[in-house]
């Protein structure tokens, strides 16, 4: 799976000229970043330990 440095589509499909590598769109990048931050927040939050609830 190529996320970065993947080949561009055939030149016949281009609407305008482009050079270099093709990268994921801003929408895909933002969605991946949001999902990653949500997962990180859930993992860092964790579940409360039983020792916290003892009286």
7: CB partners within 8 A, 6+ apart: 21, 22
Q: What pLDDT, in 10s, does the model give residues 24-41?
A: 778 888 999 999 999 999
Residue 54 has what pLDDT? 54
pLDDT band at 49 (very low <50, low <70, confident <90, very high): low
Portion of the chain with pLDDT greater than 90, in percent: 25
CA distance 55 to 37: 34
- The whole-number average pLDDT for the span 36-47 is 89
pLDDT at 8 over 90: no
């Amino acid at each position: 799976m190529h996320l970065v440095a993947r080949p561009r589509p055939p030149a016949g499909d281009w609407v305008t000229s482009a050079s270099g590598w093709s990268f994921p769109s801003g929408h895909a990048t933002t969605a991946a970043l949001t999902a990653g931050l949500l997962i990180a927040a859930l993992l860092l939050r964790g579940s409360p330990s039983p020792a916290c609830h003892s009286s």
